[in-house]
Amino acid sequence: MKSVDPAFTALIHYEAAHRILMGYMDYYYRFKLITKRARLRFEQRDWHGTQADAVSRISLYRQEVSKTTASLQQMLEAVHPDDDFWKQVSDAFAEEIAHFNTRNIAETFFNSVYRHTHGIGADPSVMFVVRTGSYREYQGLTSITYDFDLTGVPLRDVIYQVLDRFPFTVEWEDRNRDIRLVAERWESHPAGGAQRLEVLTSVFYRNKSAYIVGRVLDGEHVYPWILPLLHPPERGILIDALLLETDQVVSIFSYHRSYFLADISVPSDMVDFLHTFMPSKRISELYNAIGFEKHGKTVFYRELLRHFRDTASDPQEVFTSAPGIAGMVMYVFTSPRLNMVFKIIRDQFAPPKQVSAEVVKEKYDLVKRHDRVGRMADSYLFEKLSLPRERFAESCLEELRKTAPSKVELLDDSVMISHVYVEKEMTPLNIFLQRADEAMAQKALRDYGRAIKQLAAANIFPGDLLMKNFGVTRVNRVVFYDYDEIELVTDCNFRHIPEPRTPEEEMASHPWYYVGPKDIFPEEFPAFLLRSGAQLNYLKSQHGEIFDADFWNDVKQRLLAGEIMDVFPYRTGWRFLQTPPKVSN
């Protein structure tokens, strides 16, 4: 029998840490490779390739964690590692990544491998549950920006210098024209008199757009400075807008949009940069926006722990059932100051719901991987999430016991939930419409119709268009958040209701015609969306086409033909060129 080298046995914890580190390095290399392709996709107008890369990057993390876990388990088969051993592994891993630009992302990767190996919740004695450095996680030594002094320099000259920093291998349509348009808007804004411009070295890519992202510093004032770039068919690259206000850019980085593809050297420095002109956004949300959604989840968990600590003396800060009509598939609870909701799949669904829990999970996974076009809420999936029992109102605990006993374990001092989705809290649209004055209600209804159309353009049919399944965000944007019945538009069969052939058919309580499992009759939508009255009439006047099968079939045919439709994350009025322009002299 071959003897085991005692030195190897003594240092096997270091070998285990090395395996995890190599898994992380492989993940991060592949992550960077995908993001570096984004510029090539943009130049070549390979929009399908861009979308495929965005999906594959989301799957990449799970694949690398699974591969690393399998390698680790094979190596440790004969070791039977205990908690002390894993603490040694954690210490060795921390030592190796101490000076990484991406130390925080590496820590999250370690946590994922450990959880994947053990199948348990957070273990603070081994995992990197709390931050190991400053709140900013890590401060890089390499600058992530190009810096420009604006004092006494014509803004057009500065814009030329900025664009020279981002050379593309394809032609611009009319760079001089675009620089003039940017300068004119900049000069008319308070940021036009600022002293300094800082532009991130990374270009942000998503769908059919690229974004040059910067900030303007004017004393204590910080303004965003963002140039969306387009590359339309048979035209060169062009600048579509200059965005200088926080409310113009928060939607671009929103949790209801797909993650950016950006080649990032120091993620925490970039998040800190973005946070200076979007201070209302959570740090976790910004990590999501730049593609590190797993670390965003880690940071959110830290934010949650900090929330519990900061509100420990507030007797009102307890979990209760979320306001609104209770869902048949999900039980939802929240707390007053957290601004997040927790959604648990019920053990049994009330009729007429016929989906299974597994189908619901598949729908949420689809949304995670799909282009959300600013109209579907992103969510964190937690497995084995432990929450303080003292934070639950007794009525909430009782509902959990009754509705999801297989997923909830009540312990002496905690509530362990095996599977829960956590999302930003929104006001249900039906409640918003009840409380809003006429002007705000009409604005919400207009945006509801736009949401339906933009979801359709992204190949999503919500299935259940009820107002209670849509929410209104802090900035009064309508977003869809109930996914158990969503379908791809291309999988649906949109039909007109056949004309009745006899009086008996016209008076029948059930359809006299065949209805297949994928058949959709848009003419039926108004009957269950709103009561007859001013609001329904207004919705029909603004977006009546969503009640017509012809509209849906037209979208379906365009999608089947391979078209990727334009959905801009900023208002049409902010765009420079609404129609194909003539090239200026």
To which H or E segment does residue 447 belong? helix 438-457
SS3 label, residue 414: strand
* Rounded Cα distance, 92 and 109, in Å: 15
| Burial label, 89 (beta-carbon count in 10 A; 0-12, 13-18, 19+) | buried
* Per-residue burial over 415-429, b = 16 or more CB atoms within 10 Å of its CB, e = otherwise: bebebbbbbbbbbbb
* Rounded Cα distance, 519 and 522, in Å: 10
Residue 320 pairs with which residues in a beta bridge? 334
Extract the runs of DSSP E, i.e. beta strands, from 59-208.
145-149, 196-200, 204-206
* Rounded Cα distance, 561 and 74, in Å: 47
* Look-up of token digits 């084995």: 384
C-beta atoms surrounding 385 within 10 Å: 20
Q: Of how many residues is the chain composed?
A: 585
* Rounded Cα distance, 124 and 126, in Å: 5
* Rounded Cα distance, 70 and 68, in Å: 5
To which H or E segment does residue 24 belong? helix 12-44
Catalytic residue among 240, 269, 371, 378: 378
Residue 228 pairs with which residues in a beta bridge? 211
CB 431 within 8 A of CB 324: yes
C-beta atoms surrounding 217 within 10 Å: 19
Alpha helices by DSSP H, 496-533:
503-507, 525-529
Best CA proximity match to 421, nearest among 488, 367, 457: 367
Alpha helices by DSSP H, 4-126:
6-10, 12-44, 47-75, 83-96, 103-118
* Rounded Cα distance, 368 and 577, in Å: 32
CB 570 within 8 A of CB 230: no
Whether 84 sits among the annotated catalytic residues: the reply is no
Cis peptide before 224 (omega within 30 of 0): no
Letter for the amino acid at 244?
L
Letter for the amino acid at 17?
A
Instruction: Give the number of C-alpha atoms closer than 13 A to the C-alpha of residue 486, restricted to the C-beta side.
Output: 26
| Residues classed as catalytic | 378
